[in-house]
Amino acid sequence: MAMSSGHLKSLLVAVFSGCIIFFSNETFAQSHEKETHEKEEHVKSEKKEGFDASEVIFSHILDAHQFHFLSYTGSDGHEHHVSIPLPVIVYSDKRGFSMFSSSKFHHGEHAHDGYRLEKNKIVPVDASEKVYDLSLTRNVVQMIIALILLVWILVGMANKYKKNGAKKAPSGLQNAVEPVITFVRDEVAIPNLGHKYQKYLPYLLTVFFFILINNIFGLIPGSANVTGNIAFTFVLAVISFIVILASTNSHFWAHIFWFPGVPVPVKILMLIVELLGVITKPFALMVRLFANMMAGHIIIICLVSLIFIFGGLSKAIGWGFSPVSIGFAVFIYLIEVMVAFIQAFIFTNLTAVFIGQAFEGEHEHGEEAHH
């Protein structure tokens, strides 16, 4: 009996010790998970409070309902924004039209009239409500300003030519714009369009100056990067595509649908290749302008953002890297001024090349008739 009671005590001690070890491990695991979760939440809150480079970059290159210039923390401890609000025009399938200023949203902090601002997009508070945003965003406003400036410059020049003719030397803005018009005529229109250049020169000049003005406006801090918007370049490419198709002739389509002088199997293969070539022309116009103008703005903002990123690690590193970052940003900015002219020229020149290819068969027929 004594021996059996000793074995029973030993068994009870072993079971009790195992229970203690098991529950203590479980408790330790739960506390460890709790500590890990608290650390993750603390890191997330620090990230939210710190400098968010991606938010800054996309807020500058994407469309918005205001022209935002800068933000600062006032003496009251609150963040203040220097911006120009724009009109909000929305249509709801339940409440109809609503018009108010984008300042009512207080930079996305408050809802107004049943709508709120999320990532520069207006959404209804009621999820079941369908909304159509017809607002004048900064891209739209800047395009209107560019259009007004373009009409003012060109109409003013035309009136001067009507009044003075070729007898009086150009002056003022006319003196600066006339060499550009001559350049587009002599280096873009005539070499690519030949005897038909006068027919297409107004369109080419309009495209060149409209892109150039928007490119230059996009370099002003706080303005919209209109030409870095894929919707803008898409519309320009579609208009150029319509002009190209309207300039085609039977010779152009004969070389696409039934390529002459090659076997039938090759004709079928060439049909696919040529049709893809027709489609890729406006795609090339659209992507080239969009990618180049957006990339330049992203590089400049990234270089400036490095100051705040390093400053978040250490103020000394942030201040020390500031001259390097600003120097590179100014260098890229000066290059962007040159790119603004180059991209306007490339879009106009490629449009002229594609239009010339659309009726190039007429030159051959004309030369044969002349001989």
pLDDT the model gives residue 203: 93
C-alpha dist (Å) from residue 330 to 270, 278, 295, 305: 48, 40, 15, 14
First-last CA distance in the chain? 132
Cα–Cα distance for residue pair 20/17, rounded to 1 Å: 5
CA–CA separation, 225 and 138 (whole Å): 9
pTM: 0.76
- What is the pLDDT, as a whole number, of residue 35? 46
pLDDT for 6? 47
pLDDT of residue 238: 93
**Model pLDDT, residue 49:** 52
Per-residue tens of pLDDT for the chain, all 371 residues: 444 444 444 444 444 444 434 434 444 334 444 444 444 444 444 444 556 666 767 667 778 888 877 777 777 777 777 788 888 888 888 888 888 888 888 777 788 888 888 877 888 888 788 888 888 888 999 999 999 999 998 888 888 878 877 677 777 777 888 889 899 999 999 999 988 889 999 999 999 999 999 999 988 887 888 898 898 999 999 999 999 888 887 777 777 777 677 777 777 777 787 788 888 888 989 999 998 888 888 888 888 888 878 887 888 887 888 888 888 888 888 888 899 999 999 999 999 999 988 877 554 444 444 34
Burial class (CB in 10 A: 0-12, 13-18, 19+), 317: middle
pLDDT of residue 47: 41
Single-letter code of the amino acid located at 309? I
Give the CA diameter of the chain. Answer: 134
Q: 172: which DSSP letter?
A: T
Helix (H) or strand (E) holding 70: strand 66-73
Q: How large is the angle between the packed helices 230-246 and 315-358, nearest 10 degrees?
A: 10
